[in-house]
């Protein structure tokens, strides 16, 4: 009897240990790595339920133009989202597609060309292009004269300033900037391909300065075979006081070697690289019913689909600037959305000190692959990372995915704001009227 009891006890212990080892193996297969406490602090530089204005807007105005970014700022978006590419002479551009066909009149302006990649043109050549009329042609129900090449030009009594090479991280003081010699300054005119500098200036409440023909004012500087530009801006008379941050994607980084280094240098020059120049940690996300992300340590968020670019961004910013790894089914690193691939990408993001995962969501109009199913959201959150999903266009998508995502890349900031406010999640800023904002901005 005693021997039998001992044998049963041994079997029990052996079974228990086998069960524990099995559980450990299962956890090792399905569990993810964990963010460090230091990276969690940087993650929290970004407000929860952030409204990320995707390309400014793709719905209400020509994407990534002055019109789109001014509209997004005035709606009360927490961030202006921008894709960066680079001109032939080194200007960082706000441009999504790897060619110019869809959103400009490049085939008319440069009829002899066959490959319309932005990197094949100087910025002076890119300024010839009309980046707004296509929108009116494609979306006649949302067309507006002032998006087109025939846009009205209005005289302003303001002076035009250039801040190129200056720190613009705080409240801008015109006395520190170069004043344009022409006293006759105008606003309005056609939509240009924006520069990254333009986006930061619009986030700070400025707009493009132009001549009486609507052409933007700039100086072209040649020095030892290198071209640089000095751009001029006027204070936006329709600025409402919101100060959004800027959410930057390295777009097609394989086409632009060392673009991450250039981005780091540019952000340092303008005072927006918080890895080198942190903001006051007590600065709130909202102030006096206005967005204030652009004055916090979350003023810049970086993002990429490219594993190599993620590594490069980590090398440049060392986890000290909020960073998002975007997921797209079909990429070489993410051929299918099974749990093994999902875990692999999350762990890769953590190793490279990313703070957010950006999965695509399903639904019209884009019909992307749904990479934010409940189990996928749980896997991301269990790692300590947060979710910045893309891209929200409809109320249906917002209702379906809002509880799984900690922020939304949205083409319709006004819908996202209304959704959050109706659930008492965005009490800091007022509701917004998309059409009225366009009218107030004179579009």
CA–CA separation, 87 and 100 (whole Å): 12
The 3 state secondary structure assigned to 3-51 is HHHHHHHHHHHHHHHHHHHHHHHHHHHHCCCCCCHHHHHHHCCCCCCEE
Radius of gyration of the chain (CA): 24
Residue-wise pLDDT tens digits, 51-89: 999 999 999 999 999 999 999 999 999 999 999 999 999
Cβ atoms of 169 and 270 closer than 8 Å: yes
**Which DSSP string corresponds to 348-366?**
HHHHTT--EEE-B---TTT
Give pTM, 2 decimals.
Answer: 0.93
CA–CA separation, 226 and 229 (whole Å): 10
Query: Above 80 in pLDDT, residue 12?
Result: no
Average pLDDT for 4-31:
42
Query: Above 80 in pLDDT, residue 14?
Result: no
pLDDT for 30: 55
Q: Give percent above pLDDT 70 in the chain.
A: 93
Q: Two tokens at 169? A: 């991280």
pLDDT band at residue 31 using 50, 70 and 90 as cut-offs:
confident
Query: Above 80 in pLDDT, residue 25?
Result: no
Question: What is the rounded average pLDDT for all residues in the chain?
Answer: 93
Q: What domains can be seen in the chain, in order of their start residue?
A: 36-63+70-81+243-440 (3.20.20), 99-235 (no CATH)
Q: Which of 17-21, 213-217, 298-302, 436-440 has the lowest mean pLDDT?
A: 17-21
Query: Above 90 in pLDDT, residue 40?
Result: yes
Residue-wise pLDDT tens digits, 165-209: 899 998 888 888 999 999 999 999 999 999 999 999 999 999 999
In the numeric block, the tokens 């932005």 are attached to: 118
pLDDT band at residue 132 using 50, 70 and 90 as cut-offs:
very high
Helix H or strand E segment including 269: helix 259-269
Query: Above 50 in pLDDT, residue 238?
Result: yes
Which residues have a Cβ under 8 Å from the Cβ of 300 and sit 6 or more positions away?
Answer: 245, 246, 247, 248, 267, 272, 273, 274, 321, 322
pLDDT for 252: 93
Residue-wise pLDDT tens digits, 269-290: 999 999 999 999 999 999 999 9
pLDDT for 3: 42
Q: Which of 412, 391, 422, 427 is nearest to 75 (CA)?
A: 412
């Amino acid at each position: 009897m005693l021997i039998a009891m001992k044998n049963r006890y041994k079997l029990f212990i052996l079974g228990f240990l086998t069960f524990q080892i099995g559980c450990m193996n299962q956890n090792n297969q399905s569990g993810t790595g964990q963010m460090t406490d230091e990276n969690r602090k940087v993650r929290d530089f970004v407000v929860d339920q952030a409204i990320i204005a995707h390309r400014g807007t793709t719905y209400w105005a020509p994407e990534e133009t002055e019109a789109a970014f001014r509209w997004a700022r005035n709606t009360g978006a927490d961030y202006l989202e921008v894709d960066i590419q680079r001109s032939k002479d080194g200007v960082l551009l706000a441009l999504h597609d790897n060619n110019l066909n869809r959103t400009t009149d490049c085939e008319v302006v440069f009829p002899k060309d066959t490959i319309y990649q932005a990197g094949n043109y100087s910025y002076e050549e890119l300024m010839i292009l009309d980046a707004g009329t296509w929108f009116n042609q494609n979306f006649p129900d949302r067309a507006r004269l002032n998006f087109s090449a025939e846009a009205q030009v209005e005289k302003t009594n303001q002076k035009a300033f250039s801040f190129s090479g200056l720190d613009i991280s705080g409240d801008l003081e015109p006395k520190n900037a170069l004043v344009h010699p022409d006293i006759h300054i105008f606003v309005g005119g056609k939509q240009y391909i924006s520069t990254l500098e333009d986006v930061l200036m619009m986030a700070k409440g400025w707009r493009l300065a132009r001549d009486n023909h609507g052409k933007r004012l700039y100086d072209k500087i040649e020095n030892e075979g290198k071209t640089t530009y000095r751009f001029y801006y006027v204070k936006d008379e329709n600025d409402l006081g919101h100060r959004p941050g800027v959410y930057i994607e390295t777009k097609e980084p394989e086409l632009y070697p060392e673009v991450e280094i250039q981005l780091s240098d540019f952000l340092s020059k303008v005072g927006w690289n918080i890895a080198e120049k942190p903001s006051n940690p007590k600065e709130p996300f909202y102030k006096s019913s206005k967005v204030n992300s652009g004055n916090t340590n979350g003023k810049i968020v970086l993002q990429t689909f490219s594993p190599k670019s993620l590594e490069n961004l980590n090398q440049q910013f060392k986890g000290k600037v909020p960073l998002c790894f975007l997921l797209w089914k079909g990429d070489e690193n993410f051929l299918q959305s099974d749990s093994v691939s999902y875990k692999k990408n999350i762990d890769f993001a953590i190793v490279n000190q990313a703070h957010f995962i950006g999965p695509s969501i399903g639904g019209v109009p884009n019909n992307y692959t749904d990479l934010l199913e409940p189990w996928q959201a749980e896997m991301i959150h269990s790692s300590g990372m947060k979710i910045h999903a893309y891209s929200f266009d409809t109320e249906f998508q917002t209702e379906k995915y809002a509880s799984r995502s900690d922020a939304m890349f949205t083409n319709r900031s006004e819908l996202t704001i209304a959704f959050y406010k109706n659930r008492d999640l965005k009490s800091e800023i007022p509701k917004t009227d998309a059409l009225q904002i366009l009218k107030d901005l004179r579009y």
